[in-house]
């Protein structure tokens, strides 16, 4: 019973901390929500973060190897599908399926 109380209190504390970290920016920044810097960051920061995540996901050693061909081809497929159809779900599912197919076929290291 003691472990149940301990786990319950840890879960409650983590839930409270998560809620607080989601709520604090709105509470603290409500007066400057329409500031031009925040508007600029809100517009461009998500795209910049996505580019960094993609670059991190396909990073390889400095030397070129065949291991980078499959991720690059799947990235090109995702970009092409998104430009053509503007459907994020289609792009994500097709890119993931293509990459997993190439991995299962042994085209990556």
Q: Say what the pLDDT of residue 72 is.
A: 83
Tens of pLDDT, residues 25-39? 889 888 888 889 888
Chain centre to alpha carbon of residue 22: 18
Burial bucket for residue 68 (CB in 10 Å: 0-12, 13-18, 19+): middle
How far apart (Å, rounded) are the C-alpha atoms in residues 35 and 29?
A: 10
Top-confidence residue, 64 or 43: 43
The residue ranges of every structural domain in the chain are: 1-32, 34-109
The answer to whether the pTM exceeds 0.85 is: no
DSSP one-letter string for 15-32: HHHHHHHHHHHHHHSGGG
User: Is 20's pLDDT higher than 90?
Assistant: yes
Burial bucket for residue 95 (CB in 10 Å: 0-12, 13-18, 19+): buried
């Amino acid at each position: 019973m003691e472990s149940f109380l301990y786990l319950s209190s840890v879960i409650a504390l983590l839930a409270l901390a998560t809620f607080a970290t989601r709520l604090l920016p709105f509470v603290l920044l409500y007066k400057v929500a329409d500031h031009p810097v925040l508007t600029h960051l809100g517009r461009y920061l998500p795209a910049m973060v996505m580019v960094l995540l993609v670059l991190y996901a396909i990073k390889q050693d400095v030397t070129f190897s065949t291991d980078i061909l499959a991720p690059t081809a799947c990235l090109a497929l995702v970009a092409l599908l998104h430009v053509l159809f503007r459907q994020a779900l289609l792009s994500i599912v097709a890119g993931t399926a293509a990459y997993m197919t190439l991995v299962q076929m042994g085209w990556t290291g």
